[in-house]
Structures are given as structure tokens and as C-alpha cells.
Amino acid sequence: MSNRKRFWKNVTVGEENGLFSPHLDDRPLRLPQGTVLAVASKPLAEAVAKEWENIAADAVFSPEDLPLTRITGTFLERVKPHLGMMREELFKYGIDDELYYRADEHNPVLEKIFSWMAGLGLYPKVTHSFMPVEQSEEYRKQLKELITQQAPVELAVLGVITPVLGSLLLGVALIHHIITSEEALSVTNSDEQKQLLTWGYDSDLERTIKTRQQDIDEAILFLKLAKEI
């Protein structure tokens, strides 16, 4: 969806067959592939409707102004119909996760994550070097099982936050409340924060940190609302 101008007057939420859908001038909201945006969570549908209602009259808007609409649309049209493909993409991140290469950091967040994983019987190989780590077949199977256990809405959120965090393990730990978003971002932003401390203010680095925070907040809000059924 490219930049467009507001063309509707009224925004409401309708219900049909147990699904809730935002309506623009009494017409259900449709996604780029033609799918009606309809979800089981009324709070999520209401929050999506609020995004559209908040667009000012005659204002030009873009997908960036509609984060919950964007994530919900991705879930309905790209994730839910292709769960196997989504799991495979996440596995590619997880099998070479950035955290495997940070074993030398005495970081309480990383210690918390590896302790949680150990409780699940997951013991990845870690290293102090930059050389690639080859995980065992047993661990590969366990990691695939961990990904398979994630609900479709959780897979959608992981599809957003894993690239942002640069780590599947950080993402899974975050959505299951093992760590907070602040803790997850403290790991992801560590290099940028070191550069800021060394060289001082940098607008590009500050923008990167702010954008990551916003992306994580939006995805976690989507997950919270989607689970309110």
C-alpha cells in the first residue's frame, strides 16, 4: 500500500461468524491481496480500527502510520497460510543465532536466556571466536521443535522482531516473558551504545535505536491484543 489520502468518513467494527473486522464507511477493510481483515480478537480489531480513525481528514498516510494493520495483514496473508515456510525462515536465524558468538560476555540477560534454554533441555554450542559454529543434529531437532511449538500469532511476531533483534533466541525469550523488551534491546543495541559512549551523539545511531524500540513495541502490542479473545 503506497501513500494514499483518507477517503472514508466513518470507522466501525463489525462481527461475522465470531470474527471482528474494521469497516470503513460500512465496508470491511481489505488487505493488499484482497483478504478481509478479520480476527478473533475484538480488542485487536478495535485497535486496528482506531489507527484508521486517527488518520486526519484528507491527510496523506502510508503503511508506517498503521503498524497494527500492517502486522495483522502480514499475519493473515503471509504467515497463517504459509506456517511451514515461516518456521523454516526462523530456523535459519536460530541455527546460526548471534547469541552463540557472545559466550564471552558476562551479561545477565544472556545468562538468563541460556539458563531458560537449559531448563528446556536446549544446550547449543557457543564460542568465543567469530568462526561459524556447527550445531549438533540433536540441537537442530530441538530448535525446530521449539519453533513448531509457537502459535501462528507468535510466529508472526517473531517474523517481525527476530530481524530487528538479530536473534531468534532473544525473540522467543521475549514473547514468553523470560526477558523484557528493555533487556532484549540492551543486548541488540550494545554495539551502538558503545559507539555512542566512545564518540558521542550520532543521529544515525540514535535513529536506529529508536526505530528498533518502536518496531518491538508495535509487535508486542499486536501479540498482546491478538491473544485477548
Residue-wise pLDDT for 119-164, tens only, equals 999 999 998 888 889 999 999 999 999 999 999 999 999 999 999 9
Composition of the chain by helix, strand, coil, percent to 5: 60, 10, 30
pTM of the entire structure? Answer: 0.92
User: What is the distance between the alpha carbons of residues 121 and 146, in angstroms, rounded to a whole number?
Assistant: 11
Which of the four CATH numbers 1.10.3580.10, 3.30.450.20, 3.30.360.10, 3.20.20.70 does domain 81-226 have?
1.10.3580.10
CA distances from 83 to 147, 150, 152, 170 (A): 11, 10, 7, 20
Domain limits of the chain? Answer: 4-63, 81-226
Tell me the pLDDT tens digit for each residue of 48-104.
999 999 998 888 898 899 999 999 999 999 999 999 999 999 999 999 999 999 866
4-63, what's its fold?
ATP12-like (3.30.2180)
Give every CB contact of residue 55 below 8 A, 6+ residues apart in sequence: 6, 61, 65
Tell me the pLDDT tens digit for each residue of 211-226.
999 999 999 999 999 9
